[in-house]
Amino acid sequence: MTLCESFLPSIDKNSKILILGSMPGVKSLEQQQYYAHPQNRFWKVMAEICNTPNLYKLDYKLKLNVLLKNKIALWDTLSFCERLGSLDSKIINEKPNDIIKLLNEYQNIKLICLNGNKSYSVFKKFFPDLLNRYSCYKMPSTSPANAKYHLELLIEHWKLLIDYI
């Protein structure tokens, strides 16, 4: 088992959308970048949402800046956990991030998108009241492990963000 620690949020005072993953995978933790695994479709989905076709090819800091320009913040539901490999199903001893504190500080957030089942289940477990206070959506995971959803289908589901940009 490896002890995993999430990153700081990528957010600013203009953010209206908060995308919450569960915990960065091994590749992301190694590179200290959200969604760093080359087969994760997150940046390709965001390229469509943000109307920036080559977003996934940009430098990491530029990627984050494009999201912030489009009022999109990133963080994770979990602060710490233990996990073997990258699969969410292997997470144990989980501790949540202080999402309530973040939302109190960044009050423009209107939409919370939970990237995958684990992110949603953690959010529901630790923050059930927030499900009624915000527009919250369980989104299909952009992880390569979610082979059921091809890129075009992921984009169709994730397009609901456009109404908040």
- Which residues are catalytic, by number? 40
pLDDT tens readout for residues 125-138: 999 999 999 999 99
DSSP codes joined into one string, 64-124: HHHHHHTTEEEEESEEEEEESSS-GGG-EEEEE--HHHHHHH-TT--EEEEESHHHHHHHH
- Short-list 148, 110, 122, 105, CA closest to 20: 122
Task: Name the pairing type of β-strands 135-139 and 111-115.
Answer: parallel
**Of 72 and 26, the one with more pLDDT:** 72
pTM: 0.96
Token look-up 């005072």 returns: 13
Partners of 82 in beta bridges: 3, 92
pLDDT tens readout for residues 26-68: 999 999 999 999 999 999 999 999 999 999 999 999 999 999 9
pLDDT at 144: 85
Residue 136: give its domain's CATH number.
3.40.470.10
End-to-end CA distance of the chain: 39
pLDDT tens readout for residues 2-37: 889 999 999 999 999 999 999 999 999 999 999 999
pLDDT at 145: 86
pLDDT at 85: 86
Orientation of helix 42-49 relative to helix 151-158, angle to 10°: 50
Total domain count for the chain? 1
3-state SS class at 125: helix
Range of the domain at 146: 2-164
